[in-house]
Amino acid sequence: MNEPQKTLSVRLRIWRQPIGNSNGQFVEYGVNDIPVEASFLEMLDILNEQLVESGEDAVAFESDCREGICGTCSLVIDGLPHGEGQCTTCQLQMRNFKDGATITVEPFSTGAFKTIKDLVVDRSPLDRIIESGGYVTVHSGPKPEPNSIPIEEDVVEDALDASACIGCGACVAACPNGSASLFTSAKIGHLALLPQGQTERYGRVRKMVEAMDNEGFGSCRNYAECQASCPKNISIKYIGRMNKDYIHATIHGGDNRGPVKAT
Amino acid sequence: MMDLDAKIPSGPLEDKWDSHLEHINLVGPRNRPTYDVIVVGTGLAGASAASSLAAQGYRVHVFIYHDSPRRAHSIAAQGGINACKNYRQDGDSVHRLFYDTQKGGDFRAREANVYRLAQTSTEIIDQCVAQGVPFAREYGGMLANRSFGGVLVERTFYCRGQTGQQLLLGAYQSLQKEVDQGRVILYPRSEMLDLVVVDGRARGIIYRDMLTGEIQSSAGEAVVLATGGYGAAYFNSTNAVNSNSTAIWRAHRRGAAFANPSFVQIHPTCIPVSGDHQSKLTLMSESLRNDGRVWVPRKKGETRSPADIPEKERYYYLEERYPTFGNLVPRDVASRAAKVACDDGYGVGSTGYSVYMDFRDAINRQGGDTIKSKYGNLFDMYEEITGESPYQQPFKIYPAVHYCMGGLWVDYNLQTTIPGLYAIGEANFSDHGANRLGASSLMQCLADGYFILPQTIGDGLQPLFRDKVGTDHPAFAQAIADVNGRINKVMSIQGSSTPLSIHKRLGKTLWNHCGMSRNAGNLQGAIDHIDQLTQEFWNNVHVTGSAKDMNQTLERAMRVADFLEVGRLMCRDALERDESCGCHFREEHQTEEGEVQRNDEKFAHAAVWEWRGEETAHRRNTEKIHFEHLQPATRSYK
Amino acid sequence: MNRLQTFYGTSIGKKIVVAITGVIMYGFVIGHMLGNLKAFGGATALDQYAEMLREIGKAFLGHGTFLWIARIVLIAAVIGHVTTVILLSRINSASQPTRTIRRRNASTLAAKWMAISGTLVLLFIIIHIAQFTLGWITPHASGTTGFETGMVYSNLWGAFNIWYVALFYVAMMAMVCLHVYHGAWSMMQTFGLDAPDRNALIRGSAAAIAISLFIGFSAVPIAMLTNAISKPPAMDELQSADASAIQIEVIR
């Protein structure tokens, strides 16, 4: 039953950039005898083992869950964030690459995502966008019975489509403008759909849009590259909804906490 | 002997928690901002605890080795979260959830803790819905449920196959809210490498800035470890590649007792190992067993494709052996049954170590679209990894290391044996006994983080109002020197074994000898082998790069060093627990049908291991389990 | 005022300014195209139409005032559109990906060409106004009447009978077409009026309008170049009137 394992070889052009240095360069490496069952990141593991064995500093790249949900992995492969197809880098399989192929690997670097080292970028701007208002203000403690507020099934599904975002930042890396509109609008869209998110809805959109701009992301120009690169298939419809809520927030005042304002 | 007073309140089981809260010390709202609380880890337990404590007014310092709190591995939990809401009127209740969890854990957990967990479960759902977690709803707008292994009711709440993600995002968002309010200070890319203990109290931590390599310290009146389990010691597991045991192990070496280290759950439905390169095993949610039927061919060494094997020649071993629970037996039972089938030569796949999980009948009965709407993302995930479509042919699955029931020993307040050090979530040992039921880990993490720790921590903090220790205390300098010494030692060896290769060999040893089936001879052999590996590590490991740089090779090396010690203790614990219970299957102790045989007379206790220094062996203490409300019975799922 | 400043300070606020000014110009362009089609009704129809534009709102505002208001609004729209786009693209050039290889998955040609088509259209507008409104650059085919304010039909005829002028106009109309196709679709998104269930309709309409604009605008230069529509009436008298016109000039 144990057939000889099929293998392949590739040449890698990998972006290497020392820490604290704003310039980097491509370095070429060859990796041989990669089992076809290996994933792309496992191929990089093999490369790093070779580098460590030969006394070189391993290529720094990020990954964690390796099942496409934590959003840590972040490589641009041959010019596309997360490579060909709508998946995360960790879900890329070597069997989809040709034997002998040359593969260029770069970080998710954009104006807002600075490269830290090699293939690692700083995506903390995304956290700060959430920090500015991407939540419902509730403290821990007893809460009302959830079934007392029915929510239509399709509304929940729509909210879940948006909150499926894993915060990997592929949308930013894919956007020719380096815009975080898809990321920001997915969180705004998720909370704006649910009854629990209504109270802070318009204040939230105002704060999050301002935070997004302050972090140095570009503007949306409706290329829809973000949607095409999103491993979780998040639709650009949420960007439209964010814009609409933002217009509402501007007309009706920024921090609109409900229809009747306290005086 | 250690003083293992669990501080279980007296009184009837149902009233213990409430009466406990009535009698413990509290810190007033005006004083809370004067306390610094350190939380390590931002999974469900860590993020929920940190946000809850910050909202109460404490100054919370949160440490994570990820770039963002949202990356924690709780995010990968798929199936759901249990709560005894009894929405289905199928006989669920707090007592039923308590009973199921105790029985599922093979009567090796503390009754008062488990009962409190069941009581709190309903509040978790309320809390999460209020945060905007989009739990699945029915057409009428009410919350939907599904069932999970080991229970006869439908009490699992879910968000497609990404429940952990949605719950974690809820907790993460609450945490970010507190960051915005200035009550939480985040330290991303900071890995805890030691605990600082001053006069027997936890007073702070030492951490490595993973970008600069700087060793730094942080002081606080309480340290909360929410750093998850140590299952990644097995190398191949469903844990994330960065999951590690360093925080709890370093705390253990500073005096926190470690309970039941050998209790490691092997999850039955994972994508099988395909080769040596593999870095990670992907779990397929247990919810699949609601509709998938598990089988192997009746003929050994079967070569036909599964579709060509007629019904009569298929051995649905779970349905035949356990008619009541069928495919929904608890995880330990399902895993062992798969191992037995494969060991006996009935396994399928290129390695012979896989079994089929078949949706043919479910698709015929319910239609492909229904199945797709229920499990679509899991089917796609499987196809992406293996290149085979489960709509066309059965899943090939095999068990893999998944969860650690063992962990730091904690009392009813979730405080470890070091005052001021708390452990929550998977990092502690408290609620799951010798086996955890599906959809219970999320429940436990959030119960600990949202409801239990925030209410019990004040008990220990209140007496410290004017008793603060800063990082200028000599103990901090000493601990920093210790950590620097260890790092320098690892960096200076410059041998020929990579940390990864040692980790892989450790993993293989643990999997073969301290996995689904254990015996005294193998365990002793494993201990000897681990000792050799430890020798090899400290004499021959090779770490490249610089310690004062982002260095993932060094990070791994430091983690592997601790895994070696954890692995050894796991084997010792497994060796000394001379009975079978839950996940811990000692071949010497089985019934005629090959089921687990407990020995309640000798082993109705938690094994609580005490570190006594590098030169002296670990000491095994015990905390007796009192069966006041449930008499242990033979666990039958037939 | 503060609220407006904050609004304009954000990227979405700027996009909305671009969209609103875009709508104004979009409306104008559609009207302009429909007006142009009057050319197929002959010189009188077109010239009367041009005169009619000056007459709008005469009762309130007096002759030509409305046209000036419209011109001011349009000029303001162009300035608002262009400056805001320049502000946005300065932000975007700082935020864009810094890697060496950039492949694209989804962008349409129209989306990729927005900056190019926009710049060309702006240049075109300036040339177009200089040619037909101000009469500063007035190429005209030999044997046609020179430029004369108000004589719309014959002015067009004179210009479009030069093949490269006609070609220039047709090419520029292709740019307008590309620009408004992506512009209209983007505008719907900026206002948040897009939704997956109607996006096909929105995109289809944007494309249909863009193509109609191209055909409608190109029809006149092509028709005039190929003599598919009638010559301006003045042309018939031109040969005879030519000499007398000069005489009048001299007498004066």
Report the pLDDT value the prediction gives residue C235, as an integer from 0 to 100. 59
Nearest-CA distance A225 → chain B (Å): 22
Which of A88, A120, A152 is where one domain is finished? A120
CATH class of the domain whose range is B483-600: mainly alpha
State mean pLDDT over A82-96. Answer: 93
Report the pLDDT value the prediction gives residue C149, as an integer from 0 to 100. 80
CB of A125 closer than 8 Å to CB of A108: no
C196 closest CB neighbour out of A15, A174, A235: A235
Tell whether the model's pLDDT for residue B511 goes beyond 60. yes
Give Cα B142 to chain centroid, integer Å: 31
State mean pLDDT over C55-83. Answer: 91
Question: Residue C243: is it exposed, middle or buried by C-beta count within 10 angstroms (0-12/13-18/19+)?
Answer: exposed
Would you kindly state where each structural domain of chain C is located, as residue ranges?
Answer: 2-96+109-242
Range scoring the smallest mean pLDDT among A75-84, B143-152, C182-191: B143-152
CB of C114 closer than 8 Å to CB of C185: no
Report the pLDDT value the prediction gives residue C2, as an integer from 0 to 100. 77
**CA distances in angstroms from B92 to B36, B98, B437, B637, listed in the order given:** 41, 10, 16, 18
Which of A89, A120, A151 is where one domain is finished? A120
Q: CATH number of the domain that A72 lies in?
A: 3.10.20.30
Tell whether the model's pLDDT for residue B211 goes beyond 60. yes
Q: What would the DSSP string read from start to end of B582-634?
A: TTB-BTTSB-TTS-B---HHHH-EEEEEE---SSSPPEEEEEEPP-SSS----
| Per-residue pLDDT band at A5 (split at 50, 70, 90) | low
Binary contact (B551, A167; C-beta < 8 A): no
Chain A: residue whose CA lies nearest to C100 = A79
Report the pLDDT value the prediction gives residue C246, as an integer from 0 to 100. 42
As for the ipTM of the complex, it is 0.95
How many other C-beta atoms can be found within 10 angstroms of the C-beta atom of residue B616?
Answer: 9
Residue at A2 is within a domain: no
Chain-wide mean pLDDT for chain A? Answer: 93
Nearest-CA distance A143 → chain B (Å): 5
Instruction: For residue B597, give both structure tokens.
Output: 């045989």
Q: In what order do the strands lie in the sheet with A75-77?
A: A25-35, A7-16, A102-107, A75-77, A80-81
A100 and A140 part of one domain: no
Show residues of chain A in contact with C193, CB under 8 Å.
Answer: 240, 244
A61 and A180 part of one domain: no
Q: What is residue B355's three-state secondary structure?
A: strand
Nearest-CA distance B401 → chain A (Å): 14
Measured between CB atoms, does A119 come within 8 Å of chain C? no
Q: In what order do the strands lie in the sheet with B293-297?
A: B264-270, B395-404, B355-358, B293-297, B314-315
| Per-residue pLDDT band at A151 (split at 50, 70, 90) | very high
Q: What is residue B590's three-state secondary structure?
A: strand
Binary contact (A1, B142; C-beta < 8 A): no
Report the pLDDT value the prediction gives residue B378, as an integer from 0 to 100. 87
Show residues of chain A in contact with B44, CB under 8 Å.
Answer: none
pLDDT in tens, B524-539: 999 999 999 999 999 9
Report the pLDDT value the prediction gives residue A252, as an integer from 0 to 100. 83
Question: Under CATH, what is the fold of the domain B269-401?
Answer: Flavocytochrome C3; Chain A, domain 1 (3.90.700)
Q: Determine the residue type at B344.
A: D
Tell whether the model's pLDDT for residue C19 goes beyond 70. yes
Tell whether the model's pLDDT for residue C244 goes beyond 60. no
B73 closest CB neighbour out of A39, A70, A140: A70
Q: What would the DSSP string read from start to end of B98-129?
A: HHHHHHHTTT-S-HHHHHHHHHHHHHHHHHHH
- DSSP bridge partners of B621: B608
Q: List chains adjacent to chain B, taking adjacency as at least 3 C-beta pairs closer than 8 Å.
A: A
A70 closest CB neighbour out of B71, B500, B501: B71
Tell whether the model's pLDDT for residue B1 goes beyond 80. no
The span from the CA of B102 to the CA of B431, in Å, is 8
- Percent of chain B exceeding pLDDT 90 equals 90
State mean pLDDT over B374-378. Answer: 83
Instruction: For residue B312, give both structure tokens.
Output: 């009569």
Give residues with Cβ within 8 angstroms of C14, minimum separation 6.
A219, C8, C84, C87, C88
- Only one residue has tokens 């356990």, namely B322
Task: List the 165-204 stretch of C: residues with Cβ below 8 A of A.
Answer: 182, 185-186, 188-196, 199
B165 closest CB neighbour out of A69, A151, A152: A69
Tell whether the model's pLDDT for residue B54 goes beyond 70. yes
Task: List the 2-41 stretch of C: residues with Cβ below 8 A of A.
Answer: 3, 6-7, 9-16
Tell whether the model's pLDDT for residue A8 goes beyond 80. yes
Instruction: For residue A257, give both structure tokens.
Output: 């906490």
Show residues of chain A in contact with B139, CB under 8 Å.
Answer: 153
The CATH 3.90.700.10 domain(s) of chain B lie at 269-401
Which of A120, A139, A171 is where one domain is finished? A120
Chain-wide mean pLDDT for chain C? Answer: 89
Report the pLDDT value the prediction gives residue B206, as an integer from 0 to 100. 98
A141 and A87 part of one domain: no
CB of B108 closer than 8 Å to CB of B433: yes
Measured between CB atoms, does C102 come within 8 Å of chain A? yes
B550 closest CB neighbour out of A38, A60, A64: A60
pLDDT in tens, B562-615: 999 999 999 999 999 999 999 999 999 999 988 999 999 999 999 999 999 988
State mean pLDDT over C43-48. Answer: 90
CB of A165 closer than 8 Å to CB of A232: yes
Give me the domain span that covers residue A116. 7-120
Report the pLDDT value the prediction gives residue B551, as an integer from 0 to 100. 97
pLDDT in tens, B409-434: 999 999 999 999 999 999 999 999 99
Nearest to B268 by CA among B436, B98, B386: B436
Nearest-CA distance A197 → chain B (Å): 7
pLDDT in tens, C216-233: 999 999 999 998 988 887
Report the pLDDT value the prediction gives residue A4, as an integer from 0 to 100. 54
Instruction: For B173-210, give one letter per residue: b (16+ CB within 10 A) or e.
Output: bbbbbbbbeebbebbbbbbbbbbbbbeebbbbbbbbbb
Task: List the 36-75 stretch of A: residues with Cβ below 8 A of C.
Answer: none
Higher pLDDT, B290 or B204: B204
A41 and A144 part of one domain: no
Residue at A156 is within a domain: yes
Tell whether the model's pLDDT for residue C240 goes beyond 70. no
How many other C-beta atoms can be found within 10 angstroms of the C-beta atom of residue B389?
Answer: 11
Binary contact (C95, A216; C-beta < 8 A): yes
What is the architecture of the domain spanning C2-96+109-242? Up-down Bundle (1.20)
| pTM for the predicted model, two decimal places | 0.95
Report the pLDDT value the prediction gives residue C234, as an integer from 0 to 100. 62
Q: Output the furthest CA–CA distance in chain C (Å, rounded).
A: 72
CB of B200 closer than 8 Å to CB of B188: no
Q: Determine the residue type at A205.
A: V
Chain-wide mean pLDDT for chain B? Answer: 95
A15 and A106 part of one domain: yes
Nearest-CA distance B148 → chain A (Å): 22
Residue at A261 is within a domain: no
A130 and A205 part of one domain: yes
Higher pLDDT, B360 or C244: B360
| Per-residue pLDDT band at C237 (split at 50, 70, 90) | low
